[in-house]
Amino acid sequence: MIESVPVRCPACRRDHLYAPPVYPCACGAPLVPPLVRPATPEPITHRTWTDDWVAVRCPECDRRDEWPQPELGCPCGTVLRMAVHPDRASAPEPASMTEIASGTMPASGPEPAKASGQRDPADGPVHTPLPRTAVAARRPTFRPVTIRTARDAVTAAALYLKWLGFRDVVQPDVRPLSGIDLHGPGLVAQVDPSTRPAMLRDIECLWLNGLSASAESVFFSLAGYADDARARADTLGVPLFVLDLTGCPQPVNGPADDLISAGG
Contacts of 145 (CB under 8 A, 6+ apart): 152, 155, 156, 159, 247
Mean confidence (pLDDT) of the chain: 76
Rg of the chain over Cα atoms, rounded to whole angstroms, equals 18
Task: Band the pLDDT of 2: cuts 50, 70, 90.
Answer: low
Contacts of 36 (CB under 8 A, 6+ apart): 82, 83, 84, 85
Higher confidence at residue 237 or residue 37?
Answer: 237
Q: How far apart are CA 108 and CA 69, in angstroms?
A: 10
Higher confidence at residue 56 or residue 109?
Answer: 56
List C-alpha distances in Å: 186 to 167, 177, 207.
Answer: 9, 20, 13
Lowest mean pLDDT among 92-101, 148-157, 240-249: 92-101
- The CATH code belonging to domain 127-262 is 3.40.1350.10
pTM score of the predicted model: 0.53
Highest mean pLDDT pick, 113-127, 131-145, 154-168: 154-168
Higher confidence at residue 165 or residue 176?
Answer: 165
3 DSSP 8-state letter: P
Which class for 202: exposed (0-12), middle (13-18), buried (19 or more C-beta within 10 A)? buried
Higher confidence at residue 139 or residue 233?
Answer: 233
Tell me the percentage of the chain whose pLDDT exceeds 70. 74
| pLDDT at 17 exceeding the cut of 80 | yes
Highest mean pLDDT pick, 65-69, 86-90, 258-262: 258-262
Domain-wise residue ranges, the chain: 5-116, 127-262
